[in-house]
Amino acid sequence: MSMGVNFNTQGSDHGAMSDINVTPMVDIMLVLLVIFMVTAPLLTQGVEVNLPSTRAAPLNSKQEPLIITVNQDGLTYIEKNLQTTAQLIEKVTAIRKSNPDLPVFVRGDRKTPYGSVMVVMSQLQQAGVDRIGLVTEPPAQ
């Protein structure tokens, strides 16, 4: 004689439900994925500057460039990090030693004095950079 104990309080003999509903978790993961996809490109630019516009064709490069930014106050940044003249030359020299083919782009604010951008380009030349690209944005239609 076997004596079974039924702990089911709802009165059915179907057994315990072992399925987990993963639909809400998938929905949340998809929302997070979309949020990260939208915000990731915004994080790479760094310092906010108002770029001048031009009709030049964009350059295609398979390598992620080193971006030097000059804001409207004439302050110089490597990516998001503020640099002095000596730091800029030293860090760019070190970066170029490890990767001599790395493209270097200068992003200058539209209101930046021309002389400030030329000083940065001169510093980059002292650091061994022989080709410098200037970042612009296409004109508004």
All structural domains of the chain with their residue ranges = 66-135
The DSSP bridge partners found for residue 126 are none
pLDDT score, position 102 = 85
Q: What is the mean pLDDT of residues 81-91?
A: 86
pLDDT score, position 47 = 61
Residue with the two structure tokens 């270097």:
104
pTM beyond cutoff 0.75: no
In CATH, 66-135 is 3.40.50.880: no
Judged by phi (left if over 0) then psi (alpha if -120 to 50, else beta), residue 5 lies in beta
Distance separating the N- and C-terminal Cα atoms of the chain = 88
Residue with the larger pLDDT of the pair 10 and 109: 109
Residue with the two structure tokens 């500057």:
49
Q: Crossing angle of helices 85-98/114-126, nearest 10°?
A: 50
| CB atoms near residue 11 (< 10 Å) | 6
> What is the helix (H) or strand (E) element at residue 77, kind and residue range?
strand 76-78
The identity of residue 25, as a single letter, is M
Structure tokens at 100: 């001599």
pLDDT score, position 86 = 84
Q: What is the mean pLDDT of residues 14-37?
A: 83
